[in-house]
Structure formats: C-alpha cells, structure tokens
Amino acid sequence: MAKSTRRRQLETAALYPLDWVEERTGLVGGVKFFLFRRVPRDINWMQTLGSATLTAFLVQAITGVVLAMYYKPDPDKAYASIDYITNDVTLGWLVRGMHKWGASVFIILMFFHMARTFLFGAYKYPREINWVIGVLLLVMGMAEGFTGYLLPWDQTAYWATVVGINLNATAPFAGPFLAQFLQGGAAIGPDALSKFYSFHMLVIPGGIMALIGLHMYLVIRLGVTSPPWSKVEAGRARPEAEASGTREGLIPDPAQGEGH
Amino acid sequence: MSHDPDDNPHVPAPSLWPIGFAIGLACILVGLVVSWPAVVVGAVLAIAFGVLWIRDVARSHAPVETHAEEGLSPTGEPGAELGAAEGEHLETYGRAGFLTLATIGVGGVIGAGVTLPSLGFAVLPSFSGKAADPTTEVDLGPLENFPEGQYVIANFLEDPALGEVSRRTAYVRYNGLAQNGEPSFTTVFSRCVHLGCPVQPNGPTFEDKVVKYKDVTLTPVQPAGFGCPCHGGAYDTEGNRTAGPPVRSLDRYEFSIVNGNVVLGKLFSVGTVEGTGAGAKISRYRRAYPGVHVDGPEKWLYPIPVPGS
C-alpha cells in the first residue's frame, strides 16, 4: 500500500534534522557502525556480561559525580558529610547506596566477564591485547575499591586502609616507598584522605575510561567470538592487515631500506 | 578468504633467550641490594641474552630478499617504485627531517615542563619536609602515675595539630630503677607488626583507677600478653611474637624523663627481646613498616625505614 504524499512529506520533514547532522558529521553512519555489528548467530546471554560491566561502571561514574557535590574530603568533616548525605540530603541514602553496593556489583561483574572470556577461549589470537587491557581494568577497578573504602573516614575505613597500606609496604624494594607515598608521610594523615579522594575520583576513573575506550575499539574491530561449541564462523571480515604492511607511512619500513 | 588472520596466527617462535634475559634482570635487581659484582654478572647475562633474543626475532622477521618488491605490488601503492627511484636524489636529512625532529623536540620540552613539576608535586611531598620528619614528643605526665611492675594503657594524640587521626596507644610499664640508677620503662606500641591493627591486652583493665593528664588517659591493665584481632598475631608481655603471622617483636617508643614527667620520643623496631623489665636486652632497629623484616636476610628487601625514625 503506497503511502500518501502528505505522509511522506511529513516523514521527510521529521527526519530532516537527522539528515542535516549526518551530512555534516557522518555521525549516523558511525553510530550504525558501532551498534549494528554482525555477531555470530549462536551468541548467548553470557556475552552480555561485558555490557553489564560497562553499565555498572557508568552507574558508579554518575552516582560518584553526584556524591562529590556533597562529600568533603577533610578529616574533620568527611564522616559528618557522609552522615549528612545518608540521613539529611533528599535521596542521598539512595544514591550513596547505589554507589556503595554498585561498587561490589562492578567488581563481581568484571570477574564473571573475565571467567566467560577465559572459558570461551575468547582471549586467544587475535584478542590477546584485549585480555591484557581487561586485566589492567580489573586492577584499576580494585584500586577504585581500595581508595574509595577510606573516604567514609570511619573506624572500618581507617583500619582497613592501615592494613591495605601496610600490605603494600611488604612488597620487596618498592613496598616502603609505595606505602610512604600512599599515606603521605610517616602515618595516615589529612593528606592521605585528599590524596585517596583525588585518585578515587580523578586519576583512576580517567585511566579506566581511556582503557574502556581501547577495549571497545578492539571489540568492534575484532568482533564478538562464537561460543566454543559453535559451528558458525566468528566476527566480521577484518581488513587484511599484514604484520608489517600497514605501518608504512607511520615509520619507515626497514625492509625497504634507507631513505624510503 | 585465504588470508583470514584466524588461519595463521602471528605468534613468535619458541625461544629460550627470554628466560636467560629474565634471569639476568633478576640478578641485577638482587645485586642492587646484595652486592655490586652480582649486578655486573646480571648485566652481562641480560645484555648477552637480550642481544641473542633480538637477533632471533629480527631473523624470523627478515624480509624475503628478492620477492619483497614484487610481492608488494598487488596491494602496494603504484607510486612505490617511483618513490624508491626518487629516493636516490633525496637528501637523507633534509629540512623536513629537521622540522619533524624540532617539532617533536619542542613538544617534548613543553610536555616535560608541564608534566615533571606536576609529577614531582604529586610524589615528592610524601618524602620531604615535615611529612618525612615528624616530630613526636608526647608528655605522659608525672612518674608517680606509673606504679612499678604495672602495665598502663596510655592513650594520647601524637600530634594534636593533626587531630584524632594521630591518636595512638602505647602499653607502658614502669620497671623500677635500672642498674645505672635511671628509671626503666617498657613502652610497647599498640600497632601489630603484622599489618598494623591495634593489639589488645589479653587481660582485665581497671577502669576505676584511670588517671588523666591533659589529653592523656592512663588505664591500668593486667595483660597476659598481647593479641591482634585481625589475623591472630600473639605476643608475650615483652612484645615478643609467640604465635601468628608477625615477623618481629612489637615496636617500642623511646622515652626520657623530663622534669619528672615521662616523655615518649620516636618509635623504633625490635628484633627480639631477651629477658624482662629493666634487665631486658633489646635488639633495636630503625622503625620498619609492619610486616617487614628487620633482621635476617629478608631485611635487604626493604630499603627505607618509616620516615622520622
């Protein structure tokens, strides 16, 4: 049944802004490339654990930003500000609860995601680098947990951090230096709290976001793996990158000799 | 698809050289602490095996001599051969090369100028100034508040300017006069030398006999030894480890008598204590972090003490 002219006109008018943006940015094509990827036919729910982990991280990022509006990283005020967030600020109990419990969810999902990758053999060629990036993300996630635990500045937080820093100090050679850097001197003091706060909300999340970007780039480039029992070929057809071919133009190819 | 990358993974050939290289590196690191000749041996090993490794890798990636140009032609740029011919007339280090290096160089200098001060500011304050050399002198009050042979729990602020975060606990026992006629104290710091939890006196406290002096609280206690609630470290009343994960005896405070008052000074670490009370022989070391060895060969693994000790 052919659409009426009027209806087609309306549709064109409604979609015009999208065309306008696409013509100037190519963003629509980019989003299509990003979202509408070919995946193996027999993919299963286990392969959504990565997206679930990403979602958990986004929840931590958003709730963390909001909590930072009310939290005060000062030894005299930190606990009081947590108390204020939990008991006085409207919906503070909810957002703090999401951040606190979401932290555990994030770590647990990372482990499930890692287990899926390991058991499906999805860490093998050509995805080794993505496994390494994933391990770095796990380490940085743990560092988020360690630095965030101090911030409530109660007895649990303080003594857990004492033990955590002293654990670091037992590492050979670098240990004592690391401990002294973390506690900002001879013992945990005011500098330690603001240092942990800075690491918790600026340094480590920045690193995590950068690594997630790389992680996603490689997932999109290399495609999603089939389950091990699959008979279907995995991934999209990749550009044929010779091991030494595509570096031409970035650095001289030694095989071509000098002056190329 | 005949060139599907899944069909022919690019993995390096098996090689023993990296293992020799790793042994060389380990030898250097151990040698840095233990002895300089070991560093030399390690360096020789690392360089030799490193060169062998690089040679092997280079060999396996060597270009196929005669087919290199023709092999590239189906995918290579049509101008590739033209470029190679022109290469003979081009300067090897021309204006473009100079400008490239200059841009990278100036960018590097600007980058370093911004990055290095920030990095230094992030790291160095922990290792210099007051943070690295804290002054700790705590007045616990007059000598009469310490009955002979009785442990008291001294609870005090190490640095009142820092507030509650500097609250510390020491177990202090007056041992009477030592052989030289000076008063003798056993001043055990409450932090477990496993990982720093507060150790508890395994015995009754006498809350009715609490003495207060300024910010200091002195609570008499009858310890049967000290125990750590975190991981089960146990010590006798001299601070010697009797069970659990700790690797040395409990740390102690230096003490002095100033105008008849007991004053605690710096903390130090203790290997072992032989004997008890005034006649005890204490093997004393600069204060190490909890969990860190102060004697035996393991002490070489920990190059710096806790600052201010």
Decide if A126 and B90 are in contact by the 8 Å CB cutoff. Answer: no
Query: What's the confidence (pLDDT) of residue B8?
Result: 62
**Dihedral angle computed from the Cα positions of residues A252, A256, B1 and B4, in that order, rounded to the nearest 10 degrees:** -50
* Nearest to A258, CA basis, from B92, B64, B101: B92
Decide if B92 and A176 are in contact by the 8 Å CB cutoff. Answer: no
* Domains identified in chain A and CATH numbers: 44-224 (1.20.810.10)
Residues of chain B with pLDDT under 50: 1-3, 5, 67-80, 83
Query: What's the confidence (pLDDT) of residue A223?
Result: 85
Helix residue ranges per DSSP H, chain A: 5-25, 27-35, 49-68, 78-87, 92-119, 128-150, 155-169, 174-183, 190-198, 204-222
Give contacts of A234 with chain B, Cβ < 8 Å.
Answer: 6
Decide if B9 and A258 are in contact by the 8 Å CB cutoff. Answer: no
Tell me the pTM. Answer: 0.77
Decide if B127 and A75 are in contact by the 8 Å CB cutoff. Answer: no
Cross-chain CB nearest to B304 (options A76, A176, A259): A176
Whats the size of chain B, residue-wise? 309
Query: What's the confidence (pLDDT) of residue A238?
Result: 57
A175 Cβ contact list (under 8 Å, min separation 6): A168, A169, B289, B292, B301, B302
Q: Which residue has the tokens 């703090």?
A: A96
Query: What's the confidence (pLDDT) of residue B90?
Result: 58
CB atoms within 10 A of CB B164: 10
Cross-chain CB nearest to B165 (options A176, A186, A190): A190
Quick one: fold of B136-301? Answer: Rieske Iron-sulfur Protein (2.102.10)
Query: What's the confidence (pLDDT) of residue A260?
Result: 40
Burial (CB count within 10 angstroms: exposed 0-12, middle 13-18, buried 19+), residue A226: buried
Give contacts of A236 with chain B, Cβ < 8 Å.
Answer: none
First to last CA, chain B: 69
Decide if A163 and B29 are in contact by the 8 Å CB cutoff. Answer: no
Decide if B162 and A177 are in contact by the 8 Å CB cutoff. Answer: no
CA B150 to chain centre: 36
Mutation to test the A interface, candidates B65, B126, B228, B300, most A Cβ within 10 Å:
B126
> pLDDT 10s digit of each residue in chain A, 260 long?
567 889 999 988 888 888 889 999 999 888 888 888 888 888 889 999 999 999 999 999 999 999 999 999 988 899 999 999 999 999 999 999 999 999 999 999 999 999 999 999 999 888 999 999 999 999 999 999 999 999 999 999 999 999 999 999 998 889 999 999 998 888 887 789 999 999 999 999 999 999 999 999 999 988 888 888 887 665 555 555 555 555 666 766 555 554 44
List all residues of chain B from 139 to 198 with a beta carbon under 8 Å from chain A.
158, 162-166, 191, 195-198
Domain boundaries, chain B: 15-61, 101-132, 136-301
- Summarised one tens digit per residue, pLDDT across range A41-94 is 888 899 999 999 999 999 999 999 999 999 999 888 999 999 999 999 999 999
Q: Is residue B242 within 8 Å of residue B235, measured between CB atoms?
A: yes
What is the percent of chain A where pLDDT is above 70? 88
First to last CA, chain A: 62
Query: What's the confidence (pLDDT) of residue B9?
Result: 67
A156 vs B: CB within 8 A? no
- Summarised one tens digit per residue, pLDDT across range A178-198 is 999 998 888 887 789 999 999
